[in-house]
Structure 1
Amino acid sequence: MANYRQNKERSKSHATNQYEPRQTDNEDVSSEYTESPGNDKSSSRPKIKNKHRFWIGITVLITLGMGIYFQGSSIHSIRDVQSDGIGKGMKAGVQLAAVDDSAGLEARDFEIEMKKNTTTSRMLIWDFAAEDGDVVTVKVDGNILQTNINIMHSPVAIDIPIPSVVEIIGVKDGGGGITYGVKFPGAVHNSAYFNAAPVGSSNVYTITVQ
């Protein structure tokens, strides 16, 4: 009887030992299954970071290139207006030269066409080179409108009737010649005009309407 019980216990123990390794095998398989996706994710992270860095770099380069292009396209110089004295689309107050001597402008007269139904406007006048004490007087239709204007970098606004004939007379040369820019808001072509006015002479601007 005792031998029978011992044999029975041995058979149970043997059955248990056969089952336990299978559990261990299953645990190993499950652990490999759960770990492998984690390993794939960790290995893919550097690739994602590299892609982000690449596109960020491209974006920065494009932004810098566009900034340089537009900045360069907005810079004007006296060379742009020396041939005819006209600065197409230039704003009032723009600076084109450091000194009057380098302007190289001839004294010119201009015809300015204003938009339809314009009856009054302003003339903006400024020094586009050095603020060296140039002085001018403005006449409209033969009558003095404003005398001894000390032209500076900041434009001076003078009201004028439309149509009219405007004269800018050179009064005092601060050095290097009297040079100035003018613009008439409401003009058809939206241009600025750059001129030279020797002392005692004048530039004539004939203002008409469409």
Structure 2
Amino acid sequence: MSTTTIARGTVILLVFVLNTVWAQSFEDGMDAINKGDYETAFEIMQPLAEVGHTRAQVVLGGMYAAGKPVPEDDSEAVRWYRAAAERGHAGGQLILGHSYYAGNGVPQDYSEAMRWFRAAAEQGVARAQFQLGKMYGGGQGVIQDHVTAHMWLNIASANGNETAKEGMDIFADVMSREALEEAQSRARTCMESGYQDCE
């Protein structure tokens, strides 16, 4: 067996062991949270978050947002949400979008909110899809567009967001039949493309 083959095998084994340890540690941290032991959870989550464990980063952000067991600090919460979001974690993207939408820990910025909601929506997150529909419908961060609003609400509804159906009905009442058909067609195309062809 060559040295290169042994080295590759060692790297693969090391990655597997680290992933297993991370998963177990993360689950231990979640168990601590479920028991209300936030100190232990923080001690477990912080080192995981610091080495790039995205779920731990989102949880750590939530601990700062809630002020458990650390002092409440929305800016620090956003720092951890952003770390996860930039690594492609859909939950981190959704929460970061909400942070920008509400101005929690960052200045309110609808354009940034749209950016992060869109990233999460493209991963199939119904709540992000609903937010996009709501923002297009209200002209928040974008030019108001009932067709695109209806499209995203339709997609969110199809993915289980119950509130989206009410929004669809509101827009359907003020849209022409042609505009409604366009929104429905775009929703089908978007979903069939895995949320990549949604313009």
TM bin (shorter chain): under 0.3
As a proportion of its length, which structure holds more helix? 2
* Higher RCO (CA < 8 A, seq sep 6+): 1
TM-score (norm 2): 0.26
- Larger Cα-atom Rg: 1
